[in-house]
Amino acid sequence: MKKILIGLLLAIGVFGMVFAAPNQASAYSISGYCLTESGTGIASALVWLTTPSNSQTYVTGADGYYVFTGLAEGNYSVMAGGPCQFNPTSRSYNPLNSDQTDQNFIRFIPPPTYMISGYARDGGGIGMAGVLVTLGGAVSKTYTTVTGGYYYFNGLLQGNYTTTPSKAGYSFSPVNRSYSPLNANQSNQDFLGTPPPVYSISGYVKNGSGVGISGVLVSVSGDTSKTYTTGSDGYYVFNGLSGGNYTVTPSKTGYSFSPVNLSYNPLNADQTNQNFTGTPLATYYIKGYVKKSGGLGLSGVTVTLSGDASRTYTTGINGYYQFTGLYQGNYTVTPTKSSWWFSPANKSYSPLNSNQSNQNYTGARN
């Protein structure tokens, strides 16, 4: 009986030990090489192992080998760097649940890049600002030059490209530059800019006897707007006009001109002797009397001219008024005086194209 009890205790103890033994978590490893393109190991590469909670590092030896061991199941990321770039940039394990060998990183050498640079200059060799240089082809970019005229495009991969300069009114030589392919840096890729041609319009404004008329306002309109006031010789000039459409028109109060204007569609050469003949316009008068009903002149009446000209005239003892030097146009004459009314109330001239005398009014007290 004693032997049986001892046996049971031993059995219970054995089974207790079996069931009491803790589970050992599985441990895994991640290993591989940092290699050149030809498969040679890269020494001194730094390899990082990271988890959400911690990280480890490993520096490769001469053979480029790295290893991380004793890793419990979980999520990991491995990256390589150091003396060069590698491809892939990282490796992920989500989750790591087995040994990972041959987790290699291959050295990555970025492809070479090139530059295109130069100047946009004028005929005197001076750099031109404000030139828009456009790069087209494998990549599209633009560059606007500043003082000095320099432009550049860098970081360009091998490929086919074209550079083209532009600025309003300018032509360039060459029109563009092409690189098929671009496989080396290209400097001194210069462009010569030629400004647009400019022209002038000039002439005289004279009277019928050939004498210059001063004070004539000559206007040019169209692609540019300018004015010029003639001196005693009647001469006018507009310089620096680019090719385009223009109209030149003279004007001066009291004058008509022949031709009325001159047009250039387009202006593509200097224009001299672009002359105008000015003729003084005819002038007219309006005059008369303001009288009392008995025929006596009424003084102190304000007679107002309105319309294409504005004037006033105050009558004297004989009631006389006048407006002279009036150009053809539309006018109205109105007499007024406190405590008086007039017949007619006013007179209109639409148009005034002849002298008007005896334009009389009769005044009566209110």
Q: Across-strand partners of 257?
A: 278
Q: How far does Cα 50 stand from its chain's mean position? A: 51
pTM over 0.75: no
> Dihedral of the CA atoms 314, 316, 320, 323 (nearest 10)?
-30
What pLDDT does 25 receive?
58
Would you state the CATH architecture of domain 113-194? Sandwich (2.60)
* CA-to-CA dists, residue 170 to 128, 200, 208, 353, angstroms: 11, 19, 44, 54
3-33 pLDDT, tens per residue? 333 333 233 333 333 323 333 458 999 999 9
pLDDT band at residue 114, thresholds of 50, 70 and 90? very high
38-66 pLDDT, tens per residue? 999 999 999 999 987 889 999 999 999 99
- What are the extents of the domains in the chain? 27-108, 113-194, 199-280, 283-365
Which residue in the block uniquely carries the two structure tokens 């441990």? 27
Residue range 27-108, CATH number: 2.60.40.1120
Dist. CA 47–CA 41, nearest whole Å:
14
Counting DSSP H helices and E strands in the chain, the numbers are: 1, 32
Q: Does the pLDDT of residue 303 top 60, yes or no?
A: yes
Superfamily of domain 199-280 in the CATH hierarchy: Immunoglobulins (2.60.40.10)
148-190 pLDDT, tens per residue? 999 999 999 999 999 999 998 899 999 999 999 999 999 999 9
315-331 pLDDT, tens per residue? 999 999 999 999 999 99
Structural contact between residues 194 and 123, judged by C-beta atoms closer than 8 angstroms: yes
Q: Does the pLDDT of residue 121 top 60, yes or no?
A: yes
pLDDT band at residue 278, thresholds of 50, 70 and 90? very high
281-302 pLDDT, tens per residue? 999 999 999 999 999 999 999 9
- Same fold: 113-194 with 199-280: yes
* CA-to-CA dists, residue 4 to 7, 10, 365, angstroms: 5, 10, 160
195-223 pLDDT, tens per residue? 989 999 999 999 999 999 999 999 999 99
What pLDDT does 52 receive?
78
| Mean pLDDT (the chain, rounded) | 92
Q: How far does Cα 356 stand from its chain's mean position? A: 60
Cβ neighbour number for residue 148 with a 10 Å cutoff: 13
Cβ neighbour number for residue 55 with a 10 Å cutoff: 11
248-267 pLDDT, tens per residue? 999 999 999 999 999 999 99
Residue range 283-365, CATH number: 2.60.40.10
What pLDDT does 152 receive?
98
What pLDDT does 7 receive?
39
What pLDDT does 54 receive?
83
